């Protein structure tokens, strides 16, 4: 097969073509292209020289050295399928183009456009920018769920990766206690556990979200002192209900003892324990560790006593802004609820003084999109 080849390439020595003045060891072609006639072979050269030609059998640009070896340049005048691994020891220059035609099934086209970004195109005509490996090019989408609920989240178009922060619901504070001789405030509830996860989702996939409720106070009967209820777990399930991430709700303790936070199977940090009810009412505890700059909320403050009646314990804090509720103060201020996974404050001493609710957990999803 004999065919004229048009290769837009400056070669180092071409005879019979118009050139401009340049150094003795180079030639510049001002015609904009070099024309080759296909041929079956090329002669061998002297040592240190090479003969370029277009092989008329396969239309591939080749050169032949002084030893008679043929070397392919991988340059052709038309599209060519290259199979196997090809290594390049120099940079590959790609010209900016408009969106090309769709490739065949199972193939992708890579190309630069006039905005300077690299794109990929599949056989269905779906074009997407290819990330540079740096989050500095991200457009961030933030989705926050901070009330106890069951809902869904859909992975957005162009998603590269997501950062998920989540906390379980806080435990409720215990009720105050009074049996006529002992008058203790209730312990504060524990803060919900906290986790941070980084994952890559598939655009349009739907995930199930459950945000744990804050624990509710116990029902007051008899002498009081009833425990509040534990906070609900917060979790995410992948499509087809496959468990993905889960963090536990805050716990509660017996009368006069601290509420204890619980972690789920994949939680990074416990919430803080609630403070003891007692003579002064203990303050809640902060979590023992931080993660990626996620600071804890404030701890609940124990309630002050009045005479024989003690104040309630403060609720434990959760990481990332979850504050524990304050314990009740006798004759002054009742307890307060926790927020964002913080434990509820304990009730002040007395048979009708209930503890306060823990704060609902939360899920915050930040997604990097190109």
Please, which pLDDT band fits residue 207 given cuts at 50, 70 and 90?
very high
Q: Where are the domains of the chain?
A: 1-82, 92-130, 135-370
DSSP line for 29-98: ETTS-EEEE-BS------TT--EEEEBTTT-EEEEE-TT--EEEEEEESS-----S----SS--------
DSSP line for 158-201: TEEEEEEEEEPPPPPPPPPEESSS-EEPPPPPPPPPEEEEEE--
Cα dihedral across residues 232, 190, 315, 224: positive or negative: positive
pLDDT at 34: 55
Please, which pLDDT band fits residue 156 given cuts at 50, 70 and 90?
very high
Cα–Cα distance measured from residue 224 to residue 313, given in angstroms and rounded to the nearest whole number: 15
pLDDT at 239: 87
Identify the CA nearest to 173 among candidates 324, 3, 306: 324
What's the average model confidence in pLDDT over 231-251?
87
- Per residue in 43-65, pLDDT (tens digit) is 777 776 667 666 666 566 666 67
The one-character DSSP state at 239 is: G
Q: Average pLDDT of the chain? A: 74
pLDDT at 360: 95
pLDDT at 81: 56
User: How many CB atoms within 10 Å of residue 78?
Assistant: 7
> Is the pLDDT assigned to residue 7 strictly greater than 80?
no
Please, which pLDDT band fits residue 169 given cuts at 50, 70 and 90?
very high
pLDDT at 192: 86
Give the percent of the chain with pLDDT over 70.
65
pLDDT at 333: 75
For 81, residues 6+ apart whose C-beta sits below 8 A from its C-beta are none
pLDDT at 18: 40
For 5, residues 6+ apart whose C-beta sits below 8 A from its C-beta are 35, 36, 37, 38, 54, 59, 61, 77
Instruction: Take residue 289 and report the two structure tokens written for it.
Output: 């560790």
What's the average model confidence in pLDDT over 72-84?
49
Q: Per this entry, what is the length of the chain?
A: 370
Identify the CA nearest to 194 among candidates 338, 95, 294: 294
Chain center to CA of 358: 28
Residue 307: Cβ-neighbour burial (10 angstroms; 0-12, 13-18, 19+): exposed
pLDDT at 16: 38
pLDDT at 273: 83
Cα–Cα distance measured from residue 342 to residue 173, given in angstroms and rounded to the nearest whole number: 11
> Is the pLDDT assigned to residue 332 strictly greater than 90?
no
Highest mean pLDDT among 104-118, 147-161, 207-221, 233-247 belongs to 147-161
Name the pTM for this structure.
Answer: 0.61
């Amino acid at each position: 097969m004999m065919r004229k080849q048009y290769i837009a390439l400056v070669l180092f020595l071409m005879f019979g073509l118009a050139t401009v003045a340049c150094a003795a060891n180079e030639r510049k072609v001002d015609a904009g292209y070099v024309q080759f006639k296909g041929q079956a072979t090329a002669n061998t050269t002297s040592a240190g020289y090479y003969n370029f030609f277009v092989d008329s059998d396969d239309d591939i640009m080749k050169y032949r050295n002084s030893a008679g070896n043929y070397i392919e340049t991988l340059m052709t005048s038309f599209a060519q399928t290259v199979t196997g691994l090809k290594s390049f020891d120099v940079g590959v220059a790609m010209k900016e183009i408009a969106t090309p035609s769709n490739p065949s099934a199972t193939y992708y086209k890579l190309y630069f456009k006039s905005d300077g970004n690299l794109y990929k195109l599949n056989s269905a005509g779906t074009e997407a920018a290819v990330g540079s490996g740096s989050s500095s090019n991200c457009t961030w989408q933030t989705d926050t769920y901070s009330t106890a609920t069951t809902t869904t989240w859909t992975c957005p178009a162009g998603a590269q990766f997501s950062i998920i922060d989540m906390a379980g619901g806080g435990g409720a504070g215990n009720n105050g206690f009074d049996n006529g001789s002992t008058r203790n405030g209730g312990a504060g509830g524990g803060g919900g556990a906290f986790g941070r996860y980084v994952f890559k989702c598939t655009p349009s996939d739907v995930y199930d979200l459950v945000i744990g409720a804050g624990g509710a106070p116990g029902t007051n009967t008899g002498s009081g002192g009833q425990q509040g209820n534990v906070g609900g777990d917060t979790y995410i399930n992948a499509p087809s209900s496959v468990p993905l991430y889960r963090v536990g709700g805050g716990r509660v303790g017996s009368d006069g003892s601290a509420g204890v936070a619980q972690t789920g199977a994949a939680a990074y940090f416990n919430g803080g324990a609630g403070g003891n009810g007692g003579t002064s009412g203990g303050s809640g505890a902060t979590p023992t560790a931080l993660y990626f700059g996620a600071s804890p909320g404030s701890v609940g403050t124990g309630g002050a006593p009045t005479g024989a009646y003690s104040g309630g314990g403060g609720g434990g804090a959760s990481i990332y802004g979850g504050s524990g509720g304050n314990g009740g103060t006798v004759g002054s201020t009742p307890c307060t609820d926790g927020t964002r996974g913080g434990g509820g404050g304990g009730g002040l001493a007395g048979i009708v003084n209930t503890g306060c609710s823990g704060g609902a957990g939360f899920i915050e999803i930040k997604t990097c999109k190109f």
